[in-house]
Each structure stands twice: as structure tokens, then as C-alpha cells.
Structure 1
């Protein structure tokens, strides 16, 4: 086989790249969408907050979220505490900013674990088919048979130590089937295309075909949904923590803040309002980013 023939198959029978939208074409589509820029600005700000929470909170007052004064319990926003203080007299702003790091970590870690599991199992099921496909499909059905929140509550209630990583792993365990099914469907469709059949006919290994042709053309829908999933996971973490089965103090997250402040909403509404605002902004930003990526990666999905 000549090098020219190999390059022709790797770039497609018609000479075009088989990697979905090019980087230039993707950027050209994204930069024309206002929702992409809004989500990018907001998520960049949240990333900076997660990276430097102490520095940013120190600019407005207290830089230590655990520096508490019981005599200042549930005080409203003031010059030294722009977001007020909580029931323990801790600075709400510092806790909100430090909670950004934990909440984003759980969202990103859960999504990353889901993608790794889903890409491996979904590709095996879609590409190989047969009994492997049936086995993976039945395993996914078993996991989907458990209601998401109920399953997470049962598992987390048996855990002696609920760390952010453990919470991410549990959420990923109950979330991967949806991604795996999506990837399986895309892989099954792509493996029948002419350029994949031509690669097989020329003697390319299955691993090379999957790596260079099948996966790059199958992941676009999944990557778009992944951005939205990060926001959903952050909301799920806050919900589980609010219900008392997620993170526990002294861990710092928006869910912990909301869980602690729920009994004092009428007395100190600021302890609920500000974490809720950050949580809402984060989830909405990720949904906007996911919608923008979906439209850019799959123009047929535009509404």
C-alpha cells in the first residue's frame, strides 16, 4: 500500500478530513453565536474564582471561609461582608467562592468518568455488535433501572466518608448508560460508511479504524451533551447535599451552604440567595455552552 493511498483513506475518499467539523469551521460557527460568548465569559469568570478563591474573596473582605465569629451570626450584607454571614458567623462570600472549586470539580470529574466509561463500552458495543453489544446493553438497562437520585441516595448512605471524588464516582456510575447508548448509536452508523469499509478492505487494523475514523465522527453529539451534563451534575450534587446525603461540613460547596441555611431562610435569606445565584448562573452557562456546541458540531440539530 502506498503512502498516497493511506493518506487518501485517512482523509476520506473525497479528500476531505474525516474528523467532523474542522477547528476553523467550528470556531467560525461558535463565534457568531451570542450564547457562546455569554457562556464563555461567565465560565471563564467561574474558572478564575475556582482557581483563586482566597485572593478574590480577600479583595472584598474575609479571605478565609472558616474564620467565623458566632457573635456575627446571620448578619446581613455589610461593608466587611458583602454577602453577609451565615449561622456560624462565617463570611458567605468566602464560602460561595471556595464552594465554586468543589462544585466545578464534582461536575467536571463526574462528566470525565462518564465519558471514559461510555466511550469504551459504547464503542465496543457499536463496533463489534453481537453478544458484546447485548451484554453491554443489558448492563446499561440494569443501571438505568435504578432511579438516578434514589440510587445515589442508597449508595451514599452506606459510604463512611462522602468526599467530592466519591460523590463524583457515584453520580458517574448512574449516568454513563445515557452516554454509552448515544455513542453506540453513532458508532453503529459510522461503521457502515464507505470510508470505514474502504479502510478495512485496505487491511487497516480495527484499532486504527476506530481511532482515526469511527470515534472522531461519532463523538460530536456526545461532547455537546457533556457540557450540559456538567451543569446537571452540579445541580444534582447540590440536591443530594441539600437532602443530607451528599457532602457534609466541613466540606465547602454550594449544596452544603444551602443545606445549612435552609432552616434560617426567613431570618437570613441572604445565606440562601447568594449560593443559589452562583449555582443558577453556572448551570445556565453550561447549558448555553452545550447548546452552542451542539449547533456547531451538528448543524442538523439547529432549531
Structure 2
């Protein structure tokens, strides 16, 4: 027969162990529920609470839908021949934005013009980011001759003003469209992203996590892609988001000057250019496309400013 004292001690130990285990589990469960904090997760949480970002994003999505599916917003095909007898009509029920000198519906042309402007903004920003990030990563990580060669090459393009260089190149190319304008703007715009990415890589390449990864045997490619780029790309994303609106404005300016998107294509810049000579006679020809351009550029700048605030630790 077992001693009752021994049995009592075993029961007490079992109860104590169970209580301790439950306490450990209870203490550990909140820790399991906590999500790991990071720059990107904190930024997304801040953006979801930022009314400027939400309004800007809504406007951006709306303009993107207009550019992709213009027939959803107007039943008039802006590329069909217009009726001259409807020339310079004021806004009315039949033409809510009025008509231009050729009798074309200003509202329909404003809707269809969004496509070229959005294409230029997105395509130019994409090309600028790809080239700028790749070259800046190489220059900042390898240094030496690679850094010197890429930096001097970038300075050649950086010394040329965006609008002046765009005018000269587009004048030489002749008739332009949204894709040629995007290529020209990207050719002149990538050095800005290159310099930002290079300086960000230089600031991160000697951090402890890079030294630890190298000590554990990670190769150069893995360190660059998995460790350096995710930690260096935040300022580049901010500048790219803001620059998208700038490139839309640049396309409108080039089209206004007659060297960007040209007829029979439709552009807000072209519409403003056609309307300037008759502003006092028919102000609606200028006001509506100019308002669409301003709202689109403002929307992208709002999104860029909100992203900058969310990713900048100094503003937290």
C-alpha cells in the first residue's frame, strides 16, 4: 500500500504543474496574437486611417477607371467626326461641358483624354523606378568603379532639364503619342531615383543585419535582394508616387506646346492649347479639361504625400 502522504504530495505537484502550465499558456497567448511590428505594417496601418490618403486613392481609382473604360461614362465616341454646326455651344443638357470649335463634345473628349495622361504617368513612373532602382542598387552596393561610372553617366541626363530636354527630343522625333512621351520622360527622369536609391543603399549597407547575413554565408545576390533593397526602397517609393503626378503635368505641358501627344489622339494639354485662343468667347473649352488635369495631378500628389508621411519615422 502506498503512503497517503506520498500520494498527496504527487497530487499537489500535479496541480501546481497544471496551474503553472496554464499560466505560461495564458501569458504566451497574447504574445502569439501580437503581430510583428515593421515599417511597412505600421505604414499601412497609418495609411488606412489617413483621410488624405483615402480621398486621394479614391480619386486615383476613379480616374483609372475613366481611362480604362471611358464608354462607361459617356455614350459619345470622341474619335468620331464632329458636326461643325454644333461649334462653340455653351454647356447644356445635350452637351454638359459644351462643344469646341469643331463641334466636338468637350465632356466626351475630356473623358477620353484621361487614358493618354494616365498611361504616360504610370508608364513613365514604372520605367523610372525600374532603371533607377537597379542602377542605384548596383552603384551603392559595389561602389568603386561601378559607382563612379554610373554616377557620371546619370549626371549627363540629370543636367538636362526635364521640360527642355523633352521638348528637344520630341521635336526631333516628330509625331508623338503617349508611349513615346513616356519613353522620353523616363529617359530624363531616372537619375533622380538613381541618386535616392544609391544614397539609401550606402546608408544601409554597413548595418548589423548585413554583416550578420554575410557572416552566415549569404551570397551577394541574396544580401542585395533580401536585405538591402527592402530596407532602402522606402524613400524611392515616396518620390515615385509624387513624381507620377509630375509626369502627367509634363505630358500635358508637352502636348500644349505641340510636341507631345498630337492629333488625332486626345490629350488634356491639346484641349487646353486649342481653347486658349477662344477663352473669352468659350471659357468652357479650357476650364473643364484644365479642371480634370488639376484633379488628377492633385490626387496623385495627395497619395504621395500620405505615403511619405507614413514611411518617414521622423514624422511619427
TM-score normalised by length of structure 2: 0.86
Aligned to 2:49, the other structure's residue is in SS state: coil
How far apart, CA to CA, are the structure 1 residues paired with 2:201 and 2:211?
Answer: 13
Measured on the aligned residues, the alpha-carbon RMSD in Å equals: 1.6
How far apart, CA to CA, are the structure 2 residues paired with 1:27 and 1:131?
Answer: 38
Q: Residues 65 and 90 of structure 1 are in contact (CA less than 8 Å); yes or no, is this contact kept in structure 2?
A: no
| 2:40 paired residue number | 22
How far apart, CA to CA, are the structure 2 residues paired with 1:98 and 1:261?
Answer: 17
Q: Residues 88 and 101 of structure 2 are in contact (CA less than 8 Å); yes or no, is this contact kept in structure 1?
A: yes
In the TM superposition, residue 201 of structure 1 has moved relative to its aligned partner by 1.4
Matched, 1:156 2:170: yes
| 1:177 paired residue number | 191
Q: Residues 254 and 279 of structure 1 are in contact (CA less than 8 Å); yes or no, is this contact kept in structure 2?
A: yes
TM-score normalised by length of structure 1: 0.89
Q: Residues 175 and 262 of structure 2 are in contact (CA less than 8 Å); yes or no, is this contact kept in structure 1?
A: no
Over alpha carbons, which structure has the higher Rg? 2
Aligned to 2:231, the other structure's residue is in SS state: coil
Matched, 1:114 2:106: no
User: As a proportion of its length, which structure holds more helix?
Assistant: 2
| 1:56 paired residue number | 73
| 1:214 paired residue number | 228
Tell me the matched-pair count: 282
How far apart, CA to CA, are the structure 1 residues paired with 2:259 and 2:174?
Answer: 11
How far apart, CA to CA, are the structure 2 residues paired with 1:175 and 1:237?
Answer: 13
| 2:57 paired residue number | 40
Structure 2 unpaired stretches of 5+ = 1-35
Q: Deviations over 1:20-75 (max 9, x none)?
A: 5234x2221012211011101111211111121112112xxx34443411111111
Structure 1 unpaired stretches of 5+ = 1-15
Q: Give the direction of change, closer, same or farther, for the CA distance of 1:84–1:65 in structure 2 (3 Å limit).
A: farther
Superposition pairs of residues 204-243 of structure 1, within 5 angstroms: 204-243=218-257
Superposition pairs of residues 1-303 of structure 1, within 5 angstroms: 21-23=39-41, 25-58=42-75, 62-301=76-315
